[in-house]
Amino acid sequence: MSMEKKNGNNTIWDEVIAFLHGDSKEEIDLSKETENSSEFKFSKKVISVRDKAALAREISTPSKAWNHLMDKQSMQQVQSTQSMQRTESTPQAAQTLTKASTSAQPLYADKQEQTVTSAQTKRRVLPGLLRYAAVVTIALIIGSLFTLMMTKPDQQTTPLAYTTVEAPYGQMSKITLSDGTAVWLNSGTTLKYPNIFNQENRSVEINGEGFFDVTTDPEHPFIVETNQLKVKVLGTSFNVNAYKEDTDTEITLLEGKVELLNRAGTRIAGITPGEQAVLDNQGLTIKKVDTRFYDSWREGRMEFSGVQLKDIVKKLERWYNVEITLEGNAIEETLISGTIMRYKPIDQILKAMRIMGDIDYTIKSNPSGKDQIKLYKK
């Protein structure tokens, strides 16, 4: 399509662009062929996204956009009124026009002229207003899409809200996470978890001992972070024993499959049901165990089979919120087998130990703190 010359060296496209920019106040007489041309449509698109960032800030909400539009309409109406007043302020020109066009009805000439002028003004304002509204709407849409595309993924994600639950010494807790996973917390344990998991994985942090019955979701791995390592699963049941004050971390698997990762997220090992992974100062060890000794605590009992007394003492301190001192290395290595029920008082547990082995004890009450218990060889 050829570009018709207008006004000297200017083409019709120069006038179109000037009008869309807002630099021209004159109406443009466009033919259907010109208005439907690809050049005209492309020009409108180019101009509509001009300064989109500034325009988006200026009319960032629907109410602001509407107010902006109304201001534009009022401005155009004022300009049209002023133009009409200037025309009426030239009596000689008005008289000439009146005599030439309405010599038969001179009394109504002014009213007719004003009526025609008002109708013409409305026809000029309305198309201009609609074009301006279209430009504003397109700029808002394109500006919003541009902002969304330029925003980084981490900026689009709403920050997660976390909850921290603590099971105090002498108590246990059970909670259910947003995905349906059930978690039992042993005494002296804290668990930090998001109120709602994100789209990538399900991650929680634990300090202490917890039993996890994880809801299966192959597309979103469940990750338990401890002080020393991470446990990655898809859907399974396992026990985590990872108190920060202890030197070792134990992961015992009852069902499913577990991967062990270092703190950086690199896989270091995997375990199968009936296995236990122990990470201590010597490294990582995987062995077969009787899992009932590692999950019975959530049912209110502790079961032992040939466990050293020094390891049992740690659990008793947390369960009963007491301080226990062992006198001598010999008593530390005393092996204990049996079952301890949680609802039994601590003194009954100690009496049972006295009967079962060569052990005796003393208890010192402390009303303002933890009771002091001392174990020693008879």
Other C-beta atoms closer than 10 Å to the C-beta of 319 total 22
What is the model's pLDDT at position 119? 47
Shared-domain flag, residues 178 and 72? no
Shared-domain flag, residues 184 and 207? yes
What is the model's pLDDT at position 138? 56
In the chain, DSSP assigns E strands to 162-167, 173-176, 182-185, 189-194, 202-213, 222-225, 230-233, 237-242, 249-255, 258-261, 267-271, 275-280, 283-288, 301-308, 323-326, 335-341, 359-364, 372-377
What is the model's pLDDT at position 355? 83
Count of structural domains within the chain: 3
Domain of residue 191: give its range. 162-291
What is the model's pLDDT at position 30? 57
Residue 354: pLDDT band with limits 50, 70, 90: confident
Mind listing the pLDDT tens digit for each residue in 279-311?
A: 998 999 999 999 999 999 999 999 988 888 988
The 3-state DSSP class for residue 58 equals helix
Cα maximum dimension of the chain: 137
Residue 233 in contact with residue 203, Cβ under 8 Å? no
In a domain? residue 91: yes
3-state secondary structure 92-155: HHHHHHHHHHCCCCHHHHHHHHHHHHHHHHHHHHHHHHHHHHHHHHHHHHHHHHHHHHHCCHHH
Residue 290 identity (one-letter amino acid): D
Mind listing the pLDDT tens digit for each residue in 146-162?
A: 554 554 444 445 678 99
Shared-domain flag, residues 351 and 235? no
Shared-domain flag, residues 263 and 305? no
In a domain? residue 321: yes
The last residue of a domain, from among 224, 257, 291: 291
Residue 325 phi, psi dihedral angles, 5° rounding: -115, 135
In a domain? residue 24: no
What is the model's pLDDT at position 1? 41
| CATH code: domain of residue 329 | 3.55.50.30
Mind listing the pLDDT tens digit for each residue in 131-145?
A: 555 555 555 555 555
pTM of the model: 0.59
Mind listing the pLDDT tens digit for each residue in 59-94?
A: 555 556 556 656 666 666 656 665 555 555 544 444
The last residue of a domain, from among 154, 170, 187: 154
Rounded Cα–Cα distance for residues 300 and 295 (Å): 10
In a domain? residue 12: no
Mind listing the pLDDT tens digit for each residue in 247-271?
A: 999 999 999 999 999 999 999 999 9
Mind listing the pLDDT tens digit for each residue in 164-206?
A: 999 999 999 999 999 999 999 999 999 999 999 987 889 999 9
Shared-domain flag, residues 270 and 309? no
Shared-domain flag, residues 356 and 282? no
What is the model's pLDDT at position 239? 97
Shared-domain flag, residues 323 and 283? no
